[in-house]
Amino acid sequence: MIISEWLKHARDRLTQTNCPDPDIDARWIAEDALGMTRQALVFEGDRAISRHQLYRLEAMLDRRAAGEPVQYILGSADFMGLRFRVDGAVLIPRQDTETLVEAALIELRQRPGSPALLDLCAGSGCVGLSLASLAPHARITLADISPEALEVAHANQKDLGVKAELRQGDLFNAVGRERFDIIASNPPYIPTGALSGLQREVRFEPRIALDGGPDGLDFYRRIAEGAADHLNPGGAIFLEVGIHEARPVLDLVKAHLPCAEAGTVRDLNGIERVVFGKMK
């Protein structure tokens, strides 16, 4: 079998299994398994595939056809121009979350000295470690309840060569009485009842990072209630939210923090994706 034939075979099989992006996923698998660039796949499409390469290609294709996200199969995902390791212990970084990073980055760059930022529910570390890379003057702390997720975050920290502290614990329990200038978080926010109806790829991701309680707002309540005790005067909080959650989360922030300013930030699709509050 030659490369172009395998790509057609892979696209056809993924199409039959209702894969949303069969062309892209087939190409990504081939690039990884064959160690080739996108351009090389095109220009060398008549190259024969070895038996060993075909075995690896088919094993990866089997996993994708079964619904496993291609990022888990490849072991990595791109985010904010950086590459992060991912596995089944962490959420796959998404473009939506770049809105959270960009909002927190603007705030970080406006603050003098070495502002301290806490990334709650850090998972792979994509939020906090991206900020550590883009704002090296900041002091970044990542916290997560999952030891397995923190192992992934630690590997990503080493890969990126950035400075950050990693803490294990349930939300603010991970940092004791420490205070920060900024809190940023992408917490679990899917209502429990909606989990079973999620796209099959999402159901491969860790439930602990998805389940936001009966109405999806459990973690926002807890974060809002504890934030004032962990923010310095004039501190700010930035929270990624799901669709239709911006207004209730904004109300929670206003109810628990003495905000001089509070509002939302829209993502590239015009959806209110981030809620922020800046304290007096």
Q: Tens digit of pLDDT per residue, the chain (280 long)? A: 999 999 999 999 999 999 999 999 999 999 999 999 999 999 999 999 999 999 999 999 999 999 999 999 999 999 999 999 999 999 999 999 999 999 999 999 999 999 999 999 999 999 999 999 999 999 999 999 999 999 999 999 999 999 999 999 999 999 999 999 999 999 999 999 999 999 999 999 999 999 999 999 999 999 999 999 999 999 999 999 999 999 999 999 999 999 999 999 999 999 999 999 999 8
Q: Are the beta carbons of 279 and 257 closer than 8 angstroms? A: yes
Q: Where does the chain show beta strands of DSSP type E?
A: 76-79, 82-85, 116-120, 139-144, 165-168, 180-185, 231-240, 259-266, 272-279
Residue 75 φ/ψ, nearest 5 degrees: 85, 15
